[in-house]
Structure 1
Amino acid sequence: MPSTTPGIAILGAGIFAKEAHLPALLALGSAAPPLHAVYSRSEKTSHEFADAAAVAGLPTPAIYHDGDPANDLDALLARSDITTVIVVLPITLQPSIIRKALAAGKHVLSEKPVAPDVAGGISLINEYNEKYKKNLVWRVAENFEAEPGFRSVGELIASGKIGKIAFFKATVMNYIDVDNKYYKTPWRTVPDYQGGFLLDGGVHTVGALRTMLPEPLTHLSSFASLNHDHLKPHDTIHAVVKAGSHFHGIVELSFAGPTKSTPSSDYFVITGSEGWITVNFAKVEEAGQVLRIRIKRAVKVEGKPTEEVEEVVDIPAKGVEAEFASFFDAVAGKETLDIGDPLAALGDVAFIQAGLNSGGELVDLGKLISEGK
């Protein structure tokens, strides 16, 4: 039954909704609107999510699913007490659901990527800007962008902590076999969108880079390949990237690791004229998962390096919680973090699309975003 208190609904009841979204809502407590409903295409999945919410200590949400007109998505969106929805659905389905929710007058937080491709993202963003932006908030949930650790690195670099940025590296090596819980979801097993896991997961790396670097990524030249048949259409991108006016770097993305253990390497390395910063996820017994930031700087006397000083900082990883808090503040009309902009998220998709299609040719990312091709 409808409530007298405005609240939210989660559209999509899969792994990430249960394992990341529910804990974030629980952590926010009264700072988050009440969870009134959950929708999934499957009745079984909706029930499982509702049960998980109850186990987590949240009120059990009402269940909506396809196949029952009295309790389908249209019925959920017709509820006046649901003012906001969080969309956690398959990549190719999300744009149509975002449009449906906005047309129903709901604020929307949609999981990354913003759309399956750049052209689709441009169309969706233009429609939002023209029809809904005046009255409704739509943000894209890119939790790496919201991670306090990545944001802290961006602030350190902007303050000149390691001097003028010269070059950078991002290396991602993941092992995805047929028993991986994310691979087992049908829409990932036979993806109907470009890049497979590279689009689904690769946008995280690009989102982190744009959060940390002082200027945007502008051009790339790359090669893409498929190394494991079950990860079609591609599982690996290697790109040389230009950023801003003067610096450049290398981005290596692969979901084709041959073993669960990966080569020892730093996830992100950003080098400046006075030192460098590395950023890696780590697990700490007391704090759980953290972003470990390591800073090494040269101390100079009369312009000559005399010693090196190192700092190591661990910042708890809580990107989903941070993006939720910022989104709810935006809906309430409060000042928020500068995150979740659909156009910024479109830049992440453009990077992956260019990385898949470059074939060694130089791609202008700004031109791709403006023209959609």
Structure 2
Amino acid sequence: MAASTGIALLGAGIFAKEAHLPALAVLGDVAPPLRAVYSRSEKSAHDLAAAAAVALKLSESPSVYHDTGGDASSNLDALLARPDITAVIVVLPITLQPSIVLKALAAGKHVISEKPVAPDVKQGLDLIYTYNQQYKPKGLVWRVAENFEAEPGYRKAGEIVRSGKIGEVKFFKAVVVNHIDKDSKWYKSPWRTIPDYQGGFLLDGGVHTIAALRVMLPHPLTHLSGFASLAKDYLAPHDTIHAIVKAADHFHGTAEFTWASPTKARPQADGFVITGTDGWVAVNMEWAPTPRVIVKVRSLVKVEGKSDEEHEEVLELPSSGVAAELGSFFGTIGGKDDGLGLGDPLKALGDVAFIQAALNSDGQLVDLNKLLQEG
């Protein structure tokens, strides 16, 4: 990277500290230098700068910007006016992100913003339209940071499915079971405690699962019928979804999400099973002792003159989605697009459309393509 380039991290929450800073550390010189951090709160901005100095082994902490006190020299506009910052990573509450993405693009910065791309499909379509009309023609890059889409384990599972090893896909299931109590660090984030966006944790976390399905399944999902409910009042507006889904005439499946498990011990494993005519692929994220994706493949192998034999293969791939998505973004703004297509805002909006459809279906069939086109 040229000496004049640099990045800023906008947002000082849990994911910025626990995911983005470690990912930048892993990337090393692949990432431009972190020159500034921003948070609405002065204290949280200073805390993030201190954490960044430690994580990235900086000799000098990044500059601190915030909205406290009304000092124009230390606010977000001042940060975005800096010519030595060419790109920003936006890790802010869901409803704030669209406006900050546009502000950064208007300032001439490349942007990678955390998922979901927008609180709902309509806002997402408006945001994408504005980017395509005003900023993409100027050569500015905007990507959506969806780390499940970039996870090597999910991408490997997708390669296996598309290779034909399990034959033609016929059905699938996706299961997410989470326990969130009031002591959870994720619940204690003020913007999650009283969410001003649809779905609560179902939107914030559910898009991950849909992104993983998008990477692994050989055809896009087209229709959905589902029900949403609330089991725990403090997780309003909804905490549970059950949906039946299909991909045109290719295959169908089920999606079950809840953040309302009554116990920390889960009655079943999270994960995915994709079943074809010649076998299946099961994919699970394991968190201990280190995060990794386990891919198990059970397939039929034809043996001449004998019955088909079953062959099993198990792969373990370390979790590195955040580093992968950031590395891809930095490569693109540096003129080296890896061709993986990570972070496409319209694809990320498709993930939002799935959750929105499941929240509003109430058993009626929803055309996902129509929703994505019309909002």
Q: Please tell me the TM-score bracket, short chain as reference.
A: over 0.9
Q: Which residue of 2 aligns with 1:222?
A: 226
Q: Which residue of 2 aligns with 1:205?
A: 209
Letter in 2 for 1:361: Q
Q: Which residue of 2 aligns with 1:125?
A: 128
How many angstroms apart in 1 are the aligned matches of 2:246 and 2:37? Answer: 43
Conservation of the 8 A alpha-carbon contact between 1:170 and 1:268: yes
CA deviation map 1:167-187 (0-9, x unaligned): 000000000000110110110
How many angstroms apart in 2 are the aligned matches of 1:93 and 1:273? Answer: 45
How many angstroms apart in 2 are the aligned matches of 1:283 and 1:220? Answer: 30
1:261 to 2:265 alignment: yes
- Deviation of 1:283 after TM superposition, in Å, equals 4.3
CA deviation map 1:250-292 (0-9, x unaligned): 000100010011112351000011100000112465xx21100
Conservation of the 8 A alpha-carbon contact between 2:152 and 2:320: yes
1:1-373 to 2 correspondences below 5 Å:
5-59=4-58, 60-66=61-67, 67-134=70-137, 135-283=139-287, 285=289, 288-301=290-303, 305-336=307-338, 337-372=340-375
Q: What 5-or-longer segments of structure 1 have no aligned partner?
A: none
- Which is further off, 95-104 or 56-65? 56-65
CA deviation map 1:184-240 (0-9, x unaligned): 011000000000000000000000000000110100000000000000000000000
CA deviation map 1:61-96 (0-9, x unaligned): 100000321100000000000010000000000000
- Deviation of 1:303 after TM superposition, in Å, equals 9.0
Letter in 2 for 1:61: P
Conservation of the 8 A alpha-carbon contact between 1:266 and 1:278: no
Q: Percent identity?
A: 66
How many angstroms apart in 1 are the aligned matches of 2:369 and 2:226? Answer: 16
- Deviation of 1:53 after TM superposition, in Å, equals 1.0
Conservation of the 8 A alpha-carbon contact between 1:91 and 1:116: yes
CA deviation map 1:27-82 (0-9, x unaligned): 00000000000000000000110111112134311000003211000000000000
Conservation of the 8 A alpha-carbon contact between 2:9 and 2:88: yes
1:299/1:132 Cα in 2 relative to 1: closer, same or farther (>3 Å)? Answer: same
How many angstroms apart in 2 are the aligned matches of 1:328 and 1:9? Answer: 13
CA deviation map 1:108-143 (0-9, x unaligned): 000000000000000000000000112100000000
- Which is further off, 224-233 or 291-300? 291-300
Conservation of the 8 A alpha-carbon contact between 2:24 and 2:56: no
- Which is further off, 350-359 or 297-306? 297-306
CA deviation map 1:329-358 (0-9, x unaligned): 111121222110000000000000000000
Letter in 1 for 2:161: I
- SS at 2:136 equivalent: coil
1:68/1:304 Cα in 2 relative to 1: closer, same or farther (>3 Å)? Answer: farther
Letter in 1 for 2:209: T
Conservation of the 8 A alpha-carbon contact between 1:154 and 1:211: yes
Letter in 2 for 1:70: S
Letter in 1 for 2:62: P
How many angstroms apart in 1 are the aligned matches of 2:119 and 2:245? Answer: 22
- SS at 1:207 equivalent: helix
How many correspondences in the alignment? 368
1:218/1:26 Cα in 2 relative to 1: closer, same or farther (>3 Å)? Answer: same
How many angstroms apart in 1 are the aligned matches of 2:42 and 2:191? Answer: 17
- SS at 1:163 equivalent: coil
Letter in 2 for 1:48: D
How many angstroms apart in 2 are the aligned matches of 1:196 and 1:211? Answer: 24
- Which is further off, 290-299 or 302-311? 302-311
CA RMSD in angstroms, aligned pairs only:
1.4
- SS at 2:322 equivalent: helix
TM-score scaled by length of structure 1: 0.96
- Deviation of 1:307 after TM superposition, in Å, equals 2.4
